[in-house]
Chain A
Amino acid sequence: MAPLLEIDGLKVQFSLRDGLVRAVDGVSLAVDAGEVLGLVGESGSGKSVTGFAILGLVDPPGRIAAGAIRFRGEELVGRSEAELRGMRGRDIAMVFQDPMMTLNPVLRIDTQVVEAITAHERVSARAARARARDALVAVGIASPDERLSAYPHQLSGGMRQRVAIAIALLHRPALVIADEPTTALDVTIQSQIVAQMQALCAESGTALIWITHDLALISGFADRVAVMYAGRIVEQGPVGDVLGAPLHPYTRGLIGSLLGGGAPGAPLAQIPGLPPSPINLPPGCAFAPRCPRADGTCATAPDDTAHPGGRTVRCWHPHAALETVA
């Protein structure tokens, strides 16, 4: 069956005063209906921009320079703003990182939920408000009527995020893109939100792209994971395989640097160096300057190579699949 979403060689660039920023430099991935894909990477790796590009929310001075994004087989790149607007919130929805910033502080919650409903459907104000109330209940918000009449700053961070999730799921979209939705929340609330989203998406068959920098978090509930570095996907595959037996040296380094891996008192494993600036990407493999396995061949950029088990890697010297993490 054809995947729900296919991204093929996507390149997103920003023309700034100091140069051209290649935020996304050739990303290809696919998401099936109902699947949960984790998109993992450090800040600046281009993961959020990928999410925005899917919804056509990349604004000047940025633009989609190359590549294709196909949703249900139809090309999204180059569509008119009106067509994209019809899809946003209805077929594809997005949840952002900081709900304090994403909900308008001077408008009430019910205003902001109802307008999301009426943007795509003609319903009476009463019916819309009733639906809004049901949506809040579905995400586990107690006393929904009070919350509806409240302003964003009167709700806790976790509750605001629940509202954002409720808004995203209002029209039962086929795909939800969640851009670090729990990063700004307390750890205890984090797991609640994760569980909530997981349950809701499973129940309605919604596919989910979960963008995060937190590998440990994603390991708990994603089906597949894609690891991004410097605007490119360096490895992707089923989550258990990628995390259990990583092929790319960067993935391996990430997993190795997770706290709790080594014996007490032993120095923390780190990946030496810093990610490259997106204005000055080195030619060839972007990870080479920090890679323990780099050599002369790495001066040319590697392509995606397929590995058994539905995995791909972008590396000249991947680890062997059977090498588990020490």
Chain B
Amino acid sequence: MNDSNKIAQRDLALLLKFKDLSRQYFHLSIKSSLSTDELDVIDSILERCEDSKVLSDLIASCDRELYERTLFSDSSVVDNLREQTCQILESLNSISINEVTFQLSDVLLAKLNRIPSSEIKFIYNLGFYSSGVEILFDLKDSDNFDFLTQEANNIKFNEINDRFISENKKTIFDNVGYFDVQRNQFINRIVDFYSPNDQYTHLICEYFYISSCTVVSEAQADRMEEILEQSQFDPILRTFIAEIDQWILEDANLMSSEMCEEYESQKLELKAFVQVRQTALEDAIAYQLSSALVLSSEDRNRLTRLEQTRFNINQFWKNPLQQIGSSLWTNITDVLSNPRLLGTVCLTTMAGALVSLLFLNSKYFNAFLNKDSPSEQRSAISFLSSSDVLSADQQNHSNSAKVFSLQREGSRQNSHPSSTVLTASNPSQVYELVSALESGQSFSENRQLSSEWSQKSAEARQLMAESYQKFAETQQLLASTRQIKAEDQQQQTRAEFWLTKAQEWRDLSTRWANQAVIEKSQAEAYLQDSQHYLSRARQYSLATDAARSGEIKVVSTSKKEPPSLNSKLDRLEGGSLWTLSHDVLFAGHLAVVAMSAIGLGVSVGVRKSQQTAR
């Protein structure tokens, strides 16, 4: 009997405990979101269900009630969820929808009963568009994750599962507190936008996660910088990042109308800041450009002249001398090879010497020496080469030494790297020679170039002058701003000084006012005392008058008369004249004291009131 009672009591206690557990389960299951501790509690309850049939029945009834109450009461919701889960599984495994998936979807429904439909849609979107299950398995939400990984194992996704379970990394969603409702819309929008470009999924999610964290670690900040750097070269990624930034800023309430006004005011200040630097930069560039233009125009003038002279000299001297040298060498070889010709050559040289003596005074050679025209010089050279090669060569070498020396000087100066400009004497000679040799076309071109460059240099000088003017103006402005600043500072110091003075005066006036109040009260007290003494003096005077008239009558005006006065009046009743006179004197003395006190009090009060008035 005792045993059966004990068993019954134990069963009752267990039943009560199970009821408590089922109530707790029901209470937790109603909640839309659960913490990890609460999930642990639910897990422990479900574990206990396996051991106890009573508890499992209770939990099943709780579930039934829950389904009826909340999500699964509507059949359309259930159908929708079933369809979505099928789509998830289809995207995961690319398998067709069949009975297995339907069964699986039922199991999923049973497990996902605490997740709203938007969550499933969200999982579906991420899972579908990321062309894999990476982000899906990044979900570390305990029940769903474990279950999905288990199901993935069942449908042979071991490799993905193992990889992502072993990494055990934090998800985008667990650590971000504030995107609950809007995240679905946002991610849908993002996903719709970048669905053709799956390569950005991971980067965007990572950036989104790091940006949405309230506190960022060093490694995360590094990663963010890397993504930003990558976006510098990738316009698509840049747009995604801008989109994410905008969403996060709106979500963090940093884009409200008040904040926008503040940003606009800051932007105005920053614009002024940038504008000052931009104008300074433009001035510096204008100055640099103008100086470069001036230098380049002069240098280019000189360089063009130099190149032109070099070209002209080469053109003029190179070809004829080569021709002369080659013809001379061929003639000598021919003569030496043929002994018969040697004699004839000797005769012709003799004749040539005579002809050259005659030729020294001819017009061609004089024309060459006098530098008349290039055509004449060329004809002279051709004449020399045709008539007598040897004598002409000797004469030519002896007479054209000046030109060769000029050419050598010019070439030496050109080859020197430091001095790119000819000296004043030689270039002028060469230039004159070339200008004499060539036609007037090159000279006119040079003239045009030089005029153009001189115009440009003049413009550059003008620019320089303008920049100097601007510089002077900016200096003046700076000086004026400094003066204004100094004046402002002086005024500020003055204002501070007067402010401190005013504070001191205010403190003094308050102190005086307090003193005046105190002294006024004292004066009132003195006044009361004096009035009291005056009344007494009047009494004494009345008494003295009565004594003098012989009528010794004492009229007691108040019951609170001091005992000394009564004794004195008693003594007056005794008829002692001495005591009477003494009393009269005492009364007079009291009256004088009272009057003086009144005067003192009045004077003090008047003085203090004057001070307060000041």
* Co-assembled chains A and B: no
Residues of chain B having any CB pair with chain A under 8 Å: none
Residues of chain A having any CB pair with chain B under 8 Å: none
